[in-house]
Structure 1
Amino acid sequence: MKPAILLTVVGAVAGASAMRYWSNLAALPDSWMGPHGAWYASRAAGVAAYLFLWAGLAGGLLMSSAWFDGIIGRARLLAIHQSASITGIILGLGHALVLIPDGWTHFGLVDVLLPFGSYYERMAVGIGSLSLYLGAAVSFSFWFRGVIGTRAWRWLHRASFVSFAGALWHGLKVGTDSSEPWLMAIYVVTSLSVVFWLVVRLTYIRPQRRRVAVEVAVG
């Protein structure tokens, strides 16, 4: 199975599973995950969403920089860029909605969907919501490039850095596992890699092939 198709399938299955869990959790308060099952599911979906958003951003940077030309085809990087970004949005939405039936946190639709409407950590949660919506606008603009124009599309795509930074900030400020060494390592590696690939994108110039002069002897 191609990587792009695999990423899309994984995202769709994960998103559908989160929605199904959300709808059934109220009727299964003592499920095998315990009374805080929604909380665990949200944490897992949040980390997965962040990683897919990073993969989508990384794929776009590597594709546009031409640094990997001859190693990974641009078409494949484009497919990873698109599918990973959309998968991240699906998981991010699941990360928010799956909290609603959790009786411990008491989150409602306003808390998880309205920017800065949360009763808990209003600023950090609001930034997370805005990052989700901005990332969705960037991701789904793939199909509207001809409508909004190339110039506007490119400016909108640059907002993916803002979306990624907001997701990182949201995770650091309100993530239950953000102080864990394994997750902190993920945050450090992903953020530094984005900075590195951005520098490469802005500075790398693909070397021109030298033309070999061939002297033809005339007899």
Structure 2
Amino acid sequence: MNDTLLWYATRGAGVVSLVLLTAVVVFGIVSVMRWQTASWPRFLTTGFHRNLALTTLIFLAIHVVTAVVDPFTALGWEAAIVPFSSPYRRFWLGLGVVGIYLLLAIVFTSLLRPLFGPRVWRVVHWLAYAMWPVALIHSIGTGTDPRFAWMLAIEAACVGSVIAAVAWRVRRAEPTAWRR
């Protein structure tokens, strides 16, 4: 695989991961709010949220693997595993690694929810509210595309979607819902 193809694969998988991750967060919020219509029952929202999360992991794996094997970045596996260890854009890549660990904790506890119980699952799931901005900031700081209007539009749409979903949740939440 040539260097240019790896670079495009890394960028493309990163952008797709950000968009999918945004959709996962939005559908997670929609799922918590128990939103449904006659043509879209609630179980579809939950299933869609779960499947989007797993699809996000696939694109994230492509993003990481192509970045690691790309000779231009010369990251190596250590930079993909140990936060803030990369000589290349140390802070921004470190945020990406932290974001991956937060996402893996969320997915791991979700897949093994019966072992952890609902309370642990819920506490860990709240990490999504930290993980998503970390991933967004990683995208802005590490990516080569934030200077382009199309990438700014994608990032703005992601931010707007999450802010709208969070605002909807806060506005519609029962006071006791925050204590659960």
TM-score by length of 2: 0.89
Q: How does 1:25-174 map to 2 (within 5 A)?
A: 25=1, 29=2, 35-70=3-38, 72-174=40-142
Residue 149 of structure 1: SS of its match in structure 2?
helix
Q: Which has the larger radius of gyration?
A: 1
TM-score by length of 1: 0.74
Q: CA deviation at 1:97?
A: 1.3
**Root-mean-square deviation over aligned CA pairs:** 1.7
**1:191 paired to 2:159:** yes
Residue 145 of structure 2: SS of its match in structure 1?
coil
Q: Tell me the residue number matched to 2:171.
A: 203
Deviations 1:80-105 (A, max 9, x none): 11111121122112211112332222
Deviations 1:18-68 (A, max 9, x none): xxxxxxx3xxx4xxxxx3221111000000111111111111111111344
Would the aligned equivalents of 2:92 and 2:137 in 1 still touch at CA under 8 Å? yes
After superposition, the Cα gap between the structure-2 partners of 1:92 and 1:205, relative to the gap in structure 1 and judged at 3 Å, is: closer
Would the aligned equivalents of 1:86 and 1:136 in 2 still touch at CA under 8 Å? no
Give the number of the structure whose residues are more often helix, by fraction: 2
Q: Aligned pair count?
A: 174
Q: Which segments of 5 or more consecutive residues in structure 1 lack a partner in the other structure? A: 1-24, 30-34, 207-219
